[in-house]
């Protein structure tokens, strides 16, 4: 079996122990991963803390940081095929998707490379004579970056890029479910020429690794992507070190289709919106809200497309839907579907795991028009399961769209301009895609509210999250400061 190592203070080492990672396409172990426990986590934070203050990093100009990030971007682009193959192997995400996504990850590093020397302070027109007052934007400190197993090269780039651009140092915790791509990324990072300790990459389990990391007194900010339950633990732990947090959590994103939409576009966007990455995506458009006048025809088209999808080995370029990452998700899907059917949902297609080795579940569609409270409409589920609900009026569509505790993304398909604007204004979500879905860019901030978390990744706003403001007051008069005890 292939063996991986952790990356601490510029050196590769074994963890406290090893654990197996499973290949989702076969269900069998394929690699041994280094498990970080308390001592490794402490070592990683110490290294990041030391690097944060050391002149090699703290004394570097922002432009020099930008150059290093640019070098990293080039290395990621150069090694993208290797990283994509590893992500496919460890997570089961199909090679078509990992290849495209990781090639684009390099663009995120490029964007933040360019931004490094554009994070500016400000000068204040202060209301006092003989005073200069300005704001310095300073790096916030050591960042704990914690990511889930899906799209982890992407989800870590949107943290590492802005954090390093701002001058922070990072301890990155890869998910224990599939850490291979990030442990390999550490080897690529090592070639970029950053001072040691600027980035440390470890992996491990919730308590002995994750909790120890987020509670560490030298961690200033926790940048987390994952589920709401884990986020609650992290926020509770941040009561210990009072670290700030940015939380990118789950979603139950509405995909709203009006009868005047370009139906071909809407069908294709819905298929990729829910079945890309086998539905294991925070922005999956998992709640179809479709006008009743076109509902049956629309579901018919979805069914045809879903049943024609090529399910197969994730490393085959012809595969369109691969396995889920873990066996647990198959059990979860079966329970969710059974409970929803019991509550009145109607199965349109799919619904049963495939009879083959590995964690395969077919594209599944449920018509929940008579069961809007069914669990598959309400709960986030990381898998290829779409629930559909019909509506008659715009008000009803909006009410259904907002009937969730999440607020990450929303899709809207219509050609009516004024309705588009009304819907955009009233939908509660961090991102609205109109007549498109899933578009992302380093230039555009991304994030949610409610149970989908807070903070934004991407764009300038994300880099500012990794800074703190220092207000400087400078008296410009050479006259002595008057004696405060002499009355005037």
Q: Of residues 248, 320, 380, 457, which has the active-site annotation?
A: 248
Segment interacting with ligand NAD (CB under 6 A) among 125-133, 160-168, 172-180, 433-441: 172-180
Distances (CA, A) of 181 to 6, 77, 146, 255, 431: 12, 14, 14, 31, 28
Instruction: Assign 398 to helix, strand or coil.
Output: helix
**Nearest of 453, 442, 449, 446 to residue 427 by alpha carbon:** 449
Give the tokens for residue 408: 């990450």
Is 406 a binding residue for ligand NAD by CB under 6 A? The answer is: no
Sheet holding 385-391, edge to edge: 346-349, 364-367, 385-391, 287-291, 254-257, 409-413, 431-434
Please choose, out of 242-250, 288-296, 306-314, 364-372, the segment that lies near ligand NAD by the rule CB under 6 A: 242-250
Residue closer to ligand NAD (CB basis): 282 or 333:
282
For 28, other C-beta atoms within 10 Å of its C-beta total: 12
Sole window of 134-142, 149-157, 392-400, 465-473 interacting with ligand NAD (rule: CB under 6 A): 149-157
In whole angstroms, the minimum distance from the beta carbon of 121 to ligand NAD comes to 29
* 248 given a catalytic annotation: yes
Q: Which x/- pattern over 201-220 shows residues binding ligand NAD (rule: CB under 6 A)? A: -----x---xx--x------
Helix (H), strand (E), coil (C) string for 128-191: CCCEEEEEEEEECCEEEEECCCCCHHHHHHHHHHHHHHHCCEEEEEECCCCCHHHHHHHHHHHC
Catalytic residue among 97, 176, 184, 282: 282
**Contact mark string toward ligand NAD, 280..299, x via CB under 6 A:** --x-----------------
Q: Does 249 bind ligand NAD (CB under 6 A)?
A: yes
Distances (CA, A) of 377 to 11, 284, 322, 332, 367: 47, 13, 23, 14, 10
Q: Is-catalytic flag, 325?
A: no
CA distance 471 to 37: 39
Which one of residues 233, 305, 346, 379 is an interface residue with ligand NAD (CB under 6 A)?
233
DSSP 239-252: HHH--EEEEE----
Residue 176 within binding range of ligand NAD, rule CB under 6 A: yes
- What's the min distance (Å) between Cβ of 483 and ligand NAD? 55
The site that binds ligand NAD (CB under 6 A) totals a number of residues, namely 28
CB of 247 to ligand NAD, least distance (A): 8
Both tokens assigned to 28: 């069998």
278 binds ligand NAD (CB under 6 A): no
d(CA 488, CA 480): 15
Q: Is 445 in the site for ligand NAD (CB under 6 A)?
A: no
Taking the least distance from each CB to ligand NAD, the nearer of 45 and 234 is 234
Q: Whole-angstrom Cα distance, residue 162 to residue 456?
A: 11
Instruction: Please tell me whether residue 378 binds ligand NAD under the rule CB under 6 A.
Output: no
Interatomic CA distance for residues 460 and 444, integer angstroms: 9
Q: What minimum distance in Å lies between the beta carbon of 16 and ligand NAD?
A: 15
Q: Which of the stretches 77-85, 146-154, 257-265, 287-295 binds ligand NAD when contact is defined by CB under 6 A?
A: 146-154
* By CB under 6 A, residue 379 contacts ligand NAD: no
Query: Can you give the binding site for ligand NAD, defined by CB under 6 A?
Result: 146-150, 155, 173, 175-177, 206, 210-211, 214, 225-227, 230, 233-234, 248-251, 282, 380, 382, 408
């Amino acid at each position: 079996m292939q063996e991986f190592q952790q990356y601490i203070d510029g050196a590769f080492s074994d963890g406290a122990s090893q654990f197996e990672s499973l290949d989702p396409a076969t269900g069998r172990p394929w690699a041994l991963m280094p498990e970080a426990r308390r001592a490794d986590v402490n070592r990683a934070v110490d290294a990041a803390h030391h690097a944060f203050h050391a002149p090699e990093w703290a004394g570097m100009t922002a432009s020099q940081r930008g150059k290093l990030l640019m070098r990293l971007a080039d290395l990621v682009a150069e090694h993208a095929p290797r990283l994509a193959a590893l992500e496919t192997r460890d997570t089961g995400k199909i090679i078509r998707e990992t290849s495209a996504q990781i090639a684009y990850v390099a663009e995120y590093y490029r964007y933040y490379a360019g931004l490094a020397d554009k994070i500016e302070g400000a000068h204040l027109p202060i209301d006092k004579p003989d005073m200069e007052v300005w704001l310095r934007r300073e790096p916030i400190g050591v960042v704990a970056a914690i990511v889930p197993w899906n799209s982890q090269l992407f989800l870590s780039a949107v943290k590492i890029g802005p954090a390093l651009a701002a001058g922070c140092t990072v301890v990155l915790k890869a998910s224990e479910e599939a850490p291979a791509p990030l442990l390999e990324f550490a080897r690529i990072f090592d070639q970029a020429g950053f001072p040691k300790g600027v980035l440390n990459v470890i992996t491990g389990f919730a308590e002995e690794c994750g909790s120890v990391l987020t509670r560490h007194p030298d961690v200033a900010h926790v940048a987390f992507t994952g589920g709401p339950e884990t986020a609650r633990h992290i926020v509770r732990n941040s009561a210990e070190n009072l670290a700030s947090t940015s939380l990118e959590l789950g979603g139950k994103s509405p995909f709203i289709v009006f009868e005047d939409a370009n139906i071909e576009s809407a069908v294709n966007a819905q298929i990729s919106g829910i079945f890309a990455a086998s539905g294991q995506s925070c922005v999956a458009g998992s709640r179809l809200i479709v006008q009743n006048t076109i509902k049956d025809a629309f579901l018919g088209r979805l069914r045809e497309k879903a049943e024609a999808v090529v399910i197969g080995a994730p490393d085959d370029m012809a595969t369109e839907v691969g396995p889920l990452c873990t066996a647990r998700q198959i059990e979860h899907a079966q329970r969710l579907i059974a409970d929803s059917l019991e509550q009145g949902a109607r199965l349109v297609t799919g619904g049963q795991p495939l009879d083959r080795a590995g964690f395969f579940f077919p594209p599944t569609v449920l018509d929940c028009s008579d069961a809007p409270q069914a669990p598959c409409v309400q709960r986030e589920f990381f898998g290829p399961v779409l629930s559909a609900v019909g509506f008659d009026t715009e008000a009803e569509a909006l009410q259904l769209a907002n009937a969730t505790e999440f607020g990450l993304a929303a899709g809207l398909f219509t050609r009516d301009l004024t309705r588009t604007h009304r819907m955009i204004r009233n939908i509660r979500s961090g991102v609205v895609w109109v007549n498109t879905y899933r578009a992302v860019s380093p230039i555009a901030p991304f994030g949610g509210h409610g149970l989908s978390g807070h903070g934004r990744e991407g764009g300038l706003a994300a880099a500012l999250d990794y800074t703190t403001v220092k207000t400087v007051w400078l008296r410009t008069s050479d006259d002595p400061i008057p004696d405060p005890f002499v009355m005037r």
